Copies of this chain bind each other. A is one copy, B any other.
């Protein structure tokens, strides 16, 4: 399987996580930053190889085999991200591009040994779950901070937007995965929020709150 094929499979997998049964040509074209005609070409090849189901004008859906392959690529991507952060001291906004390359390296031994070196991490630096050898991964209860009511608390467990700009913004305000965040007050006018992170109080816009995942805490 080529890198390009793997990227398409991964793109389809991610779009499928959004709940849709079938992924349209145009949605996939947008995701892959390519033209719909190129997508049609590629999905025909992938259907040929048994990695997805494709009927003209009906969009695509991964086969078991296709989804399995997607999970392997995602596993590699996220393990490499952990490696870059934990072992090479990359910042969490610097790892994605390199992981995009490393995820295509073929060697089962490499992946498994890397997994062991990193102590079998269950989540990547952005809070996304890492599939194990069999493709299984932990899910955890999480809600967008923007969906949390006033007076509630949660632990920051992930980001929805993992762009370098957003991650650097979080760094600037010292918001990290693992922090406890309490919602002090919600402004209905602009949907901004007053929150407390550890001892610090700050006000964040809706845009920020709607890209941070928290695990709601009791009490």
Contact = CB atoms under 8 A, between A and B. Distances in A.
Count class of interface residues, chain A: 10 to 19
A203 B109 CA distance: 35
A131 B97 CA distance: 25
A87 interface: yes
Contacts of A87: 117
Contacts of A109: 90, 94, 98
Contacts of A105: 98, 101-102, 105
A88 B117 CA distance: 7
Contacts of A90: 109, 113
B106 A101 contact: yes
Contact of A113 (B89, B107, B113, B114): B89
A42 interface: no
Interface of A: 84, 87-90, 94, 97-98, 101-102, 105-107, 109-110, 113-114, 117
